[in-house]
Amino acid sequence: MSGQDHVFIFDTTLRDGEQSPGASMTLEEKLQVAEILDDMGVDIIEAGFPIASNGDFEAVSEIAKRAKRSVIAGLARAIHADIDRAGDAVRHAERGRIHTFVSTSPIHLEHQMKKTEAQVLDIITDTVTRARNLIDDVEWSAMDATRTPIEYLCRCVEAAIRAGATTINLPDTVGYATPDEYKAMFQAIRESVPDADKAVFSVHCHNDLGLAVANSLAGVAGGARQIECTINGLGERAGNAALEEIVMALRTRSDVLPYACGVDPKFLTRASKLVSAVSGFPVQYNKAIVGKNAFAHESGIHQDGMLKNAETYEIMRPEDVGVRATSLVMGKHSGRHAFRQKLEELGYEIGDNAFEEAFRRFKELADRKKHVYDEDIEALVENEIATQGEQIKVIALTVIAGTGGPQKAILTMDVDGKHETRECSGDGPVDATFNAIKAIVPHEAKLSLYQVHAVTEGTDAQGEVSVRLEANGRISTGKGADTDTLVASARAYVSALNKLLARQNRPDHQELKAV
C-alpha cells in the first residue's frame, strides 16, 4: 500500500461508530455493513474491538474471513491480552491489521492511566513490538494526540516507528483541534521524527466542534495519507468525520485537494441507509451528501436556475452518490419475480426466509397503499433485515383512539414461538400500545426517544418510527415502518426491546469501550 497521493480510507463505523450509545449492531448487521464497505472500495475496515466481548471477536473474525479486498483491522488497548486477541481475530484475513493505542496527553496520563511519560514510552515499545511479532501491518494511535505536547508526541511516534508500527494515527479524540493546528501538528511530527517516512500517517477526528471533516482534510494537507471516518459520521458524542463527506470533498474539489481515494461514491446512499437502519440513528434531513434534502431545491430562484442549468446550484449530481430518481414500483398484482428484481435493482440481497416475509409485507402494503415507491420498499426491507431472528414479534394490534378516552390497545405478540394477547389502556394510543408490550414482556427499560417521520409524501405514506430504550446504562434503538403509525410504533419498540434482551442474554455481556 503506497502511492504519494493516494489517501487510504479507514472506516471505523463498526468500532468507533458502534460504540455510540444505542448504536450496537447484531453479527448479521455487522456482516452486511462490512460487505458494502468492502464492495465500495474502503481500504481498511476496523471491524471491532475483539477483547471487548465474544460477540465483537466473532464479528471481527467472520468479517476477516469474508473480506474480498479491504484490510481488516481489530482494535487493542496497550495490553498483551488485547493485542493477542486482536491478532487472533484478524488471523484469517487476506490482509489483517492490529490497531493498538495508548493515551499520550498529560491529562490522560495523570488522571486515567496514572503513568509517567517514561512508562508510556516503554509501553509503546513493548506493545507495538508484541503486535509486530504477530502481524506485519500494525497501526499505533496516540489517544488524545491533539492535547499532547509536541516534543513528547514526537518521542512517542519515534518509539512506535522504531518498534515497527507501519501506520501512525494521531487522533483528535475529544474534537478539540482547529484545522490549522491539526495540519501543523502533522507537519511538525513528520519533519522532526527520524524515519517518519517509514510509516503512513493517519487522521482520526471527532466532531465535538463540528470540525471533524475540516480537520481531517487539514491533516492530509499536513502530510497524513489515511483518513479514519464513519458512515453518516456515526460515533460517540457528536460522532466521527463522515466518510461520505470526505469522499465527496476529495472528488468534488480535486482542484484544491489533489488526493485520490478508491471509494466508489455510487455506494454512499445505500451505505448510509443501511447504517441508519441497523444502528437506529436517523440521518438528519439536511445532512451533507446523504440527507433527504441534500439535493432538494425549494426556493423559486434555485428551482429556476436548476431548470436552466443544474450546475447553477448543484456542485454534485445526486446520481454520483447513488441517489436514483424516485420511481413507481409494482402494484398489488406484481409477483415474486418482479419483487426480487426490484430488490436487486435497489441493491438488496436477502436470504429466502427474509425474502418471503418481505414479499408478504409488500403485498399487504400494496393492498393498502395506492402507490408503492422505492422508498417504501427500502423501508420495508430494512425493517425486515433489522428484525430477522427476533425473539419477540408483533402479530396483531387493534387500537381504540379518539377524543372519548381512555385509549386502548389490544396486542398479540409472538414470544419465543407462543402467542400472547393483552388489552391495556394508556394516555393516548401510543402509550396504550407500549403498555400492552410491557404487559406481555415485563421490563424496566425507559423510553428515551420516540420519533415519527413519513417515508414518502401523501396521507397514505408509511410512517417510520424510531424508538430508543434505556435500561441499566444500556441504550438500544429500533425502527418500524407501516402505513399505520401505531403498528410502526409497536414494531419500533419491540425491535429496540429485542436488542436489549439479546444483549442481556449474551453470556459475556461486559462491554469495553475505547474512545
Residues forming the site for ligand KIV (CB under 6 A):
16, 101, 141, 143, 169, 171, 173, 204, 206, 514-515
Closest contact distance (angstroms) between CB of 205 and ligand KIV is: 8
Residue 135 or 486: the one with the smaller Cβ distance to ligand KIV is: 135
The rounded distance, in Å, linking the Cα atoms of 422 and 17 is 38
| Contact partner at residue 383 from Zn ion, ligand KIV, none, CB < 5 to 8 Å by partner kind | none
The rounded distance, in Å, linking the Cα atoms of 465 and 282 is 10
Residue 16 or 470: the one with the smaller Cβ distance to Zn ion is: 16
Closest contact distance (angstroms) between CB of 230 and ligand KIV is: 10
| Contact partner at residue 101 from Zn ion, ligand KIV, none, CB < 5 to 8 Å by partner kind | ligand KIV
385, 375 Cβ separation under 8 angstroms: no
| Contact partner at residue 143 from Zn ion, ligand KIV, none, CB < 5 to 8 Å by partner kind | ligand KIV
Residue 16 or 144: the one with the smaller Cβ distance to Zn ion is: 16
Closest contact distance (angstroms) between CB of 228 and Zn ion is: 7
Concatenated DSSP letters of 93-116: SSSEEEEEEEE-SHHHIIIII---
Report helix, strand or coil for 413: strand
350, 381 Cβ separation under 8 angstroms: yes
> What grid cell was written down for 415?
414470544
Q: Which of 11, 16, 144, 378 binds Zn ion (CB under 5 A)?
A: 16
Closest contact distance (angstroms) between CB of 194 and Zn ion is: 28
Residue 40 or 78: the one with the smaller Cβ distance to ligand KIV is: 78
> What grid cell was written down for 146?
491533539
| Contact partner at residue 83 from Zn ion, ligand KIV, none, CB < 5 to 8 Å by partner kind | none
Q: How far is CA 243 from CA 9, 293, 498, in A?
A: 8, 18, 29
| Contact partner at residue 141 from Zn ion, ligand KIV, none, CB < 5 to 8 Å by partner kind | ligand KIV
Closest contact distance (angstroms) between CB of 212 and ligand KIV is: 11
Closest contact distance (angstroms) between CB of 48 and ligand KIV is: 12
Surface-to-core class of residue 307, CB atoms within 10 Å of its CB (0-12 exposed, 13-18 middle, 19+ buried): exposed
Report helix, strand or coil for 390: coil
Stretch that binds Zn ion, among 9-17, 22-30, 106-114, 331-339 (CB under 5 A): 9-17
Q: Return the number of other C-beta atoms located less than 10 Å from residue 84's C-beta.
A: 17
Closest contact distance (angstroms) between CB of 207 and ligand KIV is: 11
Surface-to-core class of residue 285, CB atoms within 10 Å of its CB (0-12 exposed, 13-18 middle, 19+ buried): exposed
Query: What's CA 223's distance to the chain center, in Å?
Result: 27
71, 93 Cβ separation under 8 angstroms: yes
Report helix, strand or coil for 49: coil
Residue 212 or 381: the one with the smaller Cβ distance to Zn ion is: 212
Q: Which residues bind Zn ion (CB under 5 A)?
A: 16
